[in-house]
């Protein structure tokens, strides 16, 4: 099939390469919220907005936004957005792709001299990853009117609060509530993102329509046993906290295989006292559980916690759990899914539908306006990794689908 070959595609790919060079760690892509690299990224992206004839502004939460007016000034807007912060040692497409794709869509509309029955607002959120501070989705929650002021008291690993970091960045943290969009001012929300998984590649399709963003719950667990000399305590008398945790990790894996769509991850384990000749007396580990819907997640949590308690009781160790981040499943709006399917079919591709196991800025908008996401195939399903890779042909197809989507979108279809 002949690709659309939009003029904006090559320019977008070149911009993605340029943005990847903006980092706080030479040789890696590390761009944390309110860092020096974040400042330089804001300047770079704002410059591209201005080149497109837009008037970008940075709000109190550190988001960049720019508006392409519709057929009449002041119409409600379709937001096309993603984030420009990153994890440490990241890839170049996670988040950045969605921002620059939104800009590319606006550039194509301007090139075609076409105005829509709604405005298009392109937003680059400052903090989706939640790497620097305890909270996540800071920018998108602010725009969606869901920002919790208590997040300002969260501190990074150097002890700097978000409030102080915002002030040092030249922003007014007390003005963040004013960033919120009012109901009725937004037609809908669309986000393009790399899939971060292998489904599209396995199906040999460039694009996928997200049906829902997974339900998530996290815990921090502390297992306490008894430290002792590695050479003098017989195996039968040990209360080895790390051995217990090893069995707990396998229990998490077993329970997460109970049904399709469930996943469970122990991502960090810290054993103490941490000496080669001492039986671990205490272990702290993290637990991340996800499911397609809230009911399935609640059932998974119950099974996993029961399994962990059983291991602890049998091994004579204690288990303490601290609940952390929790997010309900976020369904994508049926009308946006349908409109994306029509756009993809118009390009001769199959409108494959799939769940997002990862969280995204789109989650913040579900209560404000109709929300949808488009996934782009990535090589090997790899993300949060320097090996992130997409093809220009696939990116071109994505832009063509987004352009078809916005040109045919009926705002009335989203208001029901």
* CB-based contacts of 159, cutoff 8 Å, min separation 6: none
Q: Please state, in angstroms and as integers, the Cα–Cα distance from residue 362 to each residue in 187, 326, 406, following that order.
A: 14, 16, 17
Pairing of the two strands 207-213 and 352-356: parallel
Task: Please tell me whether residue 324 adopts helix, strand or coil conformation.
Answer: strand
Tell me the average pLDDT across 19-40: 97
In order, the DSSP letters of 217-231 are: EEEEEEEE-B-EETT
Does the reported pTM lie above 0.85? yes
Residues pairing with 284 in the sheet: 222, 270
List, in order, residues 6 or more apart from 392 with CB less than 8 Å away.
9, 10, 13
Has residue 85 got a pLDDT over 90?
yes
Q: Model confidence over 220-246: pLDDT tens digits?
A: 999 999 999 999 999 999 999 999 999
**In 277-333, which ranges are E strands?**
278-279, 282-291, 318-327, 330-331
> Tens digits of per-residue pLDDT, 312-350?
999 999 999 999 888 899 999 999 999 999 999 999 999
* Other C-beta atoms lying within 10 Å of the C-beta of residue 311: 20
State the pLDDT at residue 1: 41
């Amino acid at each position: 099939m002949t690709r659309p070959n939009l003029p904006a595609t090559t320019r977008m790919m070149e911009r993605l390469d340029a943005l990847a060079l903006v980092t706080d760690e030479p040789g890696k892509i590390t761009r944390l919220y309110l860092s020096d690299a974040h400042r330089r990224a804001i300047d770079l992206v704002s410059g591209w907005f201005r080149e497109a004839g837009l008037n970008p502004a940075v709000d109190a939460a550190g988001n960049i936004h720019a508006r392409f007016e519709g057929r009449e000034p002041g119409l409600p807007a379709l937001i096309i957005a993603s984030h420009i912060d990153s994890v440490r040692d990241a890839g170049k497409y996670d988040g950045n792709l969605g921002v620059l794709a939104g800009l590319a869509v606006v550039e194509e509309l301007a090139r075609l001299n076409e105005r829509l029955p709604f405005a298009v607002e392109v937003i680059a959120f400052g903090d989706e990853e939640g790497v620097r501070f305890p909270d996540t989705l800071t920018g998108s929650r602010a725009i969606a009117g869901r920002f919790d002021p208590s997040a300002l008291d969260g501190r990074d690993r150097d002890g700097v609060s978000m409030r102080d970091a915002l002030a040092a960045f030249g922003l007014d943290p007390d003005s963040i509530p004013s960033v919120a969009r009012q109901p009725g001012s937004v037609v809908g929300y669309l986000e393009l993102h790399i899939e971060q998984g292998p489904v599209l590649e396995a199906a040999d399709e460039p694009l996928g329509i997200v049906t829902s963003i997974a339900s998530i719950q996290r815990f921090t667990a502390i297992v306490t046993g008894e430290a002792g000399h590695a050479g003098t305590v017989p195996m039968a008398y040990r209360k080895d906290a790390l051995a217990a945790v090893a069995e707990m990790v396998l229990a998490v894996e077993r329970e997460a295989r109970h049904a399709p769509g469930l996943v469970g991850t122990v991502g960090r384990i810290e054993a103490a006292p941490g000496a080669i000749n001492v039986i671990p007396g205490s272990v702290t580990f993290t637990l991340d559980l996800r499911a397609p819907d809230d009911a399935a997640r609640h059932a998974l949590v119950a099974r996993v916690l029961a399994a962990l308690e059983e291991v602890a009781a049998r091994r004579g160790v204690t288990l303490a759990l601290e609940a952390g981040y929790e997010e309900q499943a976020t369904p994508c709006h049926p009308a946006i899914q349908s409109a994306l399917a029509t756009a993809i079919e118009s390009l001769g591709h199959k409108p494959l539908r799939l769940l997002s196991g990862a969280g995204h800025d789109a989650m913040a908008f579900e209560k404000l306006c109709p929300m949808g996401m488009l996934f782009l195939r990535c090589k090997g399903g790899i993300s949060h990794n320097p090996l992130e890779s997409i093809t220009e042909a696939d990116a071109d197809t994505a832009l063509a689908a987004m352009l078809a989507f916005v040109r045919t979108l009926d705002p009335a279809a989203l208001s029901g």
